Structure 1
Amino acid sequence: MEVKSEKSKQKENGGLGFRKRFIAVPSVQEMVRSDHQTVPERYIQEYEKRPLTDALSSTSYEIPVIDFSLLAKRDENEQKKLDSACKEWGFFQVIYIYIYIYMSCMHIINHGVGEELIERMRDREAACFDLPLEVKNKYALGDAMQGYGQAFVESEEQKLDWGDPFFLMAYPPQYRNFHNWPLIVPSFKEIVEEYSAEIIRVSEEILANLSLLMKMKEDSLKEMHKVMRLGMRMNYYPLCSKPELVLGVSPHSDGGSITILLQDDDVTGLQVLHQGQWVPVKPLPGAFVVNLGDAMQMWSNGVYKSVEHRAITNTRKARMSIAMFVMPDNDAEMGPVDTMVCDNCPARYQRVKYKNFMRSYLDRTVTGEQIK
């Protein structure tokens, strides 16, 4: 009965609040399995978009690392670091250290999502991509934009990314479309639920600190979401014989409020555009990479940045990642909050419902445009 009711709700609102059908494209993973030397023309990026080494930052930039345990204590110095990271980078990392017992009390250090849960989530992700292609195709991306396969492909001439994703609505439960979930993978649903609950906890803590920095009550941003939703994108980037010609994910900004990314610990693939140069984000074991999305840029009146980022490939090893997108409810209002507007800083954005904003976001993603 539970699955039936959730499917009914999903059919009504599409999870994201609208429906859009994209052109189906081949699985890159299967293409590489049959021929790992050839790079089809459709995947070769235009010269100015290729991940050339001379376009990388020539300095030793590293995105900021934030102590999550200090944010939880509302430490002013750590909040200042968070404020600076959101203004200058739009990206930061929070790390996992350990849980320890001192004087009979348990202390959680930094983001606190257990290493064992992270490894189980990674294991279930790998099991999804290990499924035979004919099985994965049963969960193909539908017009509700959940499922297996690349989105945002609207023409046969459009350049393609060198990767295969699963996109699923993970939270709240009524937005899940189990027709597109690979439930054939044992314990997948249970582990996604457990992992999502932890990501919601981390997200709410970050939003509380951002609310205070924006001179609001600490629950303000959470309330502005109305219903906080969580989309999950599992990414598989096969190795590539000519990685300098392709992109795992083309440059884009995210459309939600914040994104929490679990990288592959062994392979650097994420790159962030900073001061006009692409900066590789070196993985920290067990860390989450957090970035702000367009909704947060609008709420902050452009003070906090939703920054372009991309993923590259390599010749030696496939790479996987899991991105969790925190998104407002479709009826949530986007636009600068009053505390971020003044005579010297007038409102930069018009107020709009999130569902209408997302329709324009999809159009921008297809064309490669970014929010200003």
Structure 2
Amino acid sequence: MAEIFDKMKVEFVDQDECVQVVADNIRGTGEVPERYVRSEIMSDPAIDDAKGYNLPVIDMSRLLNPEFSEEETAKLGSACEHWGFFQLVNHGFNGELLQQIKADITEFFNLPLEEKLAVAIPPNGIQGFGHHFVFSKEQKLDWVDLLFLATRPVEERSLAFWPTKPSTFRDTLDRYSLGLANVSAQLFKFMANNLGVNHEALLGTFKGLPQSMRINYYPPCSQADKVLGLSPHTDGVGMTFLLQVNDVEGLQIRKDGKWFPVKAIPGALVVNIGDVLEILTNGKYKSIEHRAVINPVKERITIATFHSVHLGCTIGPLQELLKTDEAHYKVLDSVEFTKGYFAAKLEGRRYLESLKLGI
């Protein structure tokens, strides 16, 4: 995504305010600044009783086992088609690696502000520490600080934005990045099997598996019912992996017209389908709207890893799927798609819906 962004003319407004500092300043009796107050939370709350809304669980070890692969692949396809989200267990990650990356990320966000600003996002940039999707001085802001990095291909990394504190950060992130690239490649192949399409036809759109990470720090807020950590949106990529750094929940997805909270299984990766995969599958797999809410007493930290399309590819329904169905989405190149996604400013599924034919 970062490579494509560099080719576009999407302008962001400088926003150097650190939300963690804002949160510290209002702790106790202070009021949330008006720029962060989100009235829609009260008017569109999550459901209290989430029974029957537990995300499907996919077992990678069963996908890879010939004895159970067919059954688990069908389960994977059903999760992508009916939920657009699932939790991935037995994914093969070393527990020590996951503990180290969680520790490194926590330590980075605990650094003094001036040290984090050493890797600040530059004007009209996308990589580094700061904020995304700030297009005007008047818009409402999300209650989050983030560190965004292009992680793969390796030769396209901008190491100037990779923190050197803690000292293990770069090595740990590199190893985690490689592991996720391998997991995503495997999942794409099993998805191709489920869809009945050629592996290369699906993987070709993600040639080289371009990857980026958004590491999120959501400060606590005593007036949590007034702020949003991340506005309702879909992901403009192929597939996203979310790792909970600490045990604080906050992810909510919209299903059956209602919001409900996701309870992450310890050690699992929460995986969701992005807009690109919905288009490629001609709507069979679903890119689902989701958001992040804030905890009143405890910070929440997550790592979202995006697997995107490569520069110069064409995004449209796979031809093999059009043998039995008409196309439901427009065809456009990756730069045009990504520019449109950013310009939509995280407004739910609005951009994806605009790409449907016959609307």
| TM-score after normalising by structure 1 | 0.87
Cα pair distance change 1:52/1:317, threshold 3 Å: farther
TM superposition outliers: structure 1 runs of 4+ over 2 Å: 13-21, 48-60, 217-224, 365-370
Q: Quote the offset at 1:19 in angstroms.
A: 5.3
Aligned match of 1:246: 227
Task: Return the alpha-carbon distance in structure 1 between the equivalents of residues 14 and 259 of structure 2.
Answer: 30
Matches within 5 A, 1:163-178: 163-178=144-159
Q: CA deviation at 1:227?
A: 2.6
1:59-98 map, 5 Å: 59-73=51-65, 75-95=69-89
Equivalent residue letter for 1:197:
L
**Match of residue 305, structure 2, among 302, 324, 339:** 324
Contact 2:228 2:294 survives alignment (8 Å):
yes
CA contact (8 A) 1:257 1:327 kept: yes
1:370 positional shift: 4.1
Structure 1 residue 36 corresponds to structure 2 residue 17: no
- Alignment partner of 1:232: what SS? strand
- 1:246–1:313 contact (8 Å) kept in structure 2: yes
Is the 1:335–1:351 contact (alpha carbons within 8 Å) kept by the matching residues of 2?
Answer: yes
Change (3 A) 1:58 1:185: closer
Find the aligned partners of 1:366 and 1:207 in 2 and give their Cα distance: 26
Alpha-carbon spacing, 1:17–1:329, altered in 2? closer, same or farther (3 Å): farther
Matches within 5 A, 1:278-297: 278-297=259-278
Specify the code of the residue in structure 2 equivalent to 1:210: M
| Residue segments in structure 1 that go unaligned for 5+ positions in a row | 1-9, 96-109
Contact 1:165 1:233 in 2 (8 A): yes
User: Following TM superposition, by how much is the alpha carbon of 1:51 offset from its aligned partner in structure 2, in angstroms?
Assistant: 7.5
Separation of aligned partners in 1, 2:104 and 2:310: 28
Alignment of 1:83-162 (within 5 A): 83-95=77-89, 110-142=90-122, 143-162=124-143
Distance 1:32 1:170, change over 3 A: same
The 3 A distance-change label for structure 1 pair 232 and 266 is same
Matched residue of 2:150: which SS?
strand
Structure 1 residue 35: Cα displacement: 2.6
1:271 and 1:138 map into 2 onto residues whose CA distance is 32
DSSP 3-state at the match of 1:34: helix
Deviations 1:60-100 (A, max 9, x none): 411100111111236111111111111111000012xxxxx
Pairing partner for 1:364 from 335, 344, 352: 344
1:236 and 2:228 are equivalent in the alignment: no
Tell me what 2:177 maps to: 196
Q: Structure 2: which 5+ runs fail to align?
A: 354-359
Question: 1:139-169: per-residue Cα shift (whole Å, max 9, x none)?
Answer: 2213331111111111111011111110000
Contact 2:102 2:245 in 1 (8 A): no
Residues of 2 paired with 1:286 and 1:238: CA distance? Answer: 22
Root-mean-square deviation (Å): 1.9
Name the residue aligned to 1:20.
10
Give the Cα separation in 2 of the matches to 1:180 and 1:174. 14
Secondary structure at the residue paired with 1:324?
strand
- Fraction of identical pairs, as percent: 37
**CA shift at 1:334, angstroms?**
0.6
How many residues in Structure 1 have an aligned counterpart in Structure 2? 345
TM-score computed with the length of structure 2 as normaliser: 0.90
Whether 1:212 aligns to 2:193 is yes
Structure 1: distance between partners of 2:78 and 2:246: 26
Determine if contact 1:50/1:247 at 8 Å carries over to the other structure. Answer: no
Q: What letter matches 1:354 in structure 2?
A: S
Q: For structure 1, which segment, 291-300 or 222-231, has the greater mean C-alpha deviation from structure 2 after superposition?
A: 222-231
Cα offset, 1:267, TM superposition: 1.4
Are the equivalent residues in 2 in contact too, given 1:51–1:245 (CA < 8 A)? no
- Alignment pair present for 1:255 and 2:236: yes
Matches of 1:263 and 1:322, distance apart in 2: 7
